[in-house]
Each structure stands twice: as structure tokens, then as C-alpha cells.
Amino acid sequence: MTSSQSLPLHAYAALRRARQTEREISNDDDGLFERTHRLASCTYDGAILAAVAAVDIQYQKIHTPAETAFQLTFAWVLNTVNTVSQLVMVWMLNVSVIERQESLFENDVMGMIARMQSHIDTMTSQGLSSNDPYEASILRRCIQADETLPFAHLLVVILWFSRMLQEVVESVQCMIIIWKLPDGKEVMEVSNVLDENYNIVDYKYYIVCLPRTLKVLVTIFVTGTRVFVAIVLSWTSAKYLILSNNMAHVLLKAVGLQFVVNLDELLFRSFAPGIFRRQIQHTAFKYQHPLVNLWQQWFGSMAKMVGVLLMGLTMNRIVFYKVWAFRAQCRDYFTMYPSDYTGTSQGTPFAEIFEFTKLPW
């Protein structure tokens, strides 16, 4: 399909004129022009909107102080419940499951790897002896440690970091926008869209400025807390996925962890009143931002992709090097001595299919 078929030429001309207008505005206003950023339907942005409404003069003229105070208290308590719930679930996951899984890769893992490698190098007809307590424990750990395919953990962890990157980027972006807003008390503007009969068909609330005290409070207790929770979730969840020893468990756990990440949206939609949910859907920050060209946008996307890949490789190959090395050695051992494998999964014997994918790290 040609460009003229997909979009009329006059539409392209309009887009070019709009782009040129943005550049002219940018040049006239010290390289800045107006942008908007919509609030999301979650407890974090709900807490921000309630705090903004509590200091907005025009909002206080419409609603009583008691209503505004109750709305602020409820929104911040709901956000606190979300934050505490996420951290508590992460803690319970760590003490009940992760520590037990991690015990398989403790107590002389490198010595076990060396013992298996010695059998492979000597090419003896018989592998590890079940009569030797040390070698028997190596066999048990190998069977329990991994019933997945090679690179499965690396792939899932990279995809999980891609998901958690959204949380971190959105939190940091919101924090930056808040500090770009000027200081002031007239914090909100209302914009109405009228039809030909002057009836309101749509409306928007724009947050245009914030008191400095409120910026500090929101940064510490909302956006900063969100970044902290996202980092804790990223680390604990990646560790949880890497230590999983079953292919089905790896995939199902990744899906189940979405529940913890999306808890802020679940609580907001369940307990926030309808009028507040509608208001947050029509509210956005309005701020000044430099013009970002196409090269900068795509280079930013490439930097995020490279960063996620590096984090996944670092987590899988460096931070949990012993886990990866032990599993890789177990696969090599069972390839040489397949009769020693007594597990229920077929993942490990299939490792030889992936022999050509072995990398030098």
C-alpha cells in the first residue's frame, strides 16, 4: 500500500505543518512547548489527584472541607494498603518458597560441579555412584534443580524485566513531571468541549502547578514509594523465576506475579467511588517539555531494550552464576549418562537438542 492510499496527501501536509508549528513554538519559548500526561486508574495516581484536590482553591469552593479531607484520607489509606500488601506478599514469597528453592544451590555447589565434570572428562562407563552419599546427593540435587529447557529462565526473566520497566519508567516520569510544574495555589484548570448548541460533550482537568510542599510529599510517599516497590518486585520476582525448577512453574509463576504488580489497579477499581474514577480518567498534567525528535525517541527505545537484555544476562549469568553453572553441568552430565536421570520431566534429556546453542559464557 502506498502512502497516498494509506493517508491522503493533505493529511500529511497537515502533520508537517503541525510539526513545524511545534518547532516554532519551541524556538520562541526557550525550546519548550506544552505537553500533557494523563493520570492512570491506580491507587498511586488516585493519591496524587486527592492531594491536588485538597490544595486547589476552586475545588474547595465546590466541596466542603470535610468531603475533601475524607477523600484525601481514603485515597492515601488505599494507596498505603496497596503498598503494604505488595511488600508483604513479596516477603511471604521470599520466606516460604524462595529460601527453600535456594537451598538446592548451597553447600559446595562448585565442588559438585567439579565432581560431575571429572566423571565426564574420564568418560567412565559408570557415572556418579548412588552408594556414595556425596555423589548420591549430587544426583538428587541435579534432578530437583532443573526440569526446564536451556535458556528458559533467561527468556522469562528478560520478559519480566520488560514488564517491570514500565512500572519504573512511569513512576520516574511522573516524578519528573511533578517537579517541572511551577509552584502555585491555582493548581487545576478545567477545559470543556462544547457542541454546536454549547452543550458540554467532554471535559478535562489539567494540573498546571503544585505547591512545593506537596511536591515533596508526593515524591516521598507516592512516586518514590512506587519506584521502591517496583525495584523490590523486580528483584524478588526475578529470583523467584530463576530458582523455579519446572517449565510449567516458570511460565505460570510469571503469569501469577502479574496479580501482585497490578494490585494497585485492582484496589482502585474495586474501592474508589465512581465519580472519583471518572475524574481521574479526565485529569492530566499539563507541563512544558523540550521537543523530542524521532531519532531521540527511537534511541531511547533502543537504550531500554539493551538495558533490559543486560539486566537479564547479569541476573542469570552473574548474580546467580552458581545456579546457572550447576544446571548447565547437570545437563551435560545427563547427556553423558542418561540412565542416571530418574526425573518425571522430559526437559533435561532434551538438552542435547540445544547443544548447538551453547555460548562461551
Burial class (CB in 10 A: 0-12, 13-18, 19+), 21: exposed
List the chain domain ranges: 38-179+209-278+292-347
- Cα–Cα distance for residue pair 148/64, rounded to 1 Å: 60
Q: How far, in whole angstroms, is CA 171 from its chain's centroid?
A: 10
The one-digit pLDDT tens for each residue of the chain (361 residues) are 333 444 444 454 555 555 555 555 544 456 678 889 999 999 999 999 999 999 988 888 888 999 999 999 999 999 999 999 999 999 998 888 888 888 878 778 888 888 888 888 887 767 787 788 888 888 888 877 777 777 888 899 999 999 999 999 999 999 999 999 998 878 888 887 766 666 766 778 899 999 999 999 999 999 999 999 999 999 999 998 888 887 777 778 888 888 999 999 999 999 999 999 999 999 999 998 888 888 889 999 999 999 999 999 999 999 999 889 888 888 888 888 887 777 555 444 444 444 444 444 4
- Cα–Cα distance for residue pair 354/148, rounded to 1 Å: 12
Q: What is the pTM of this model?
A: 0.79
In the chain, DSSP assigns E strands to 32-38, 188-194, 200-207, 283-290
Return the amino acid letter for 81: V
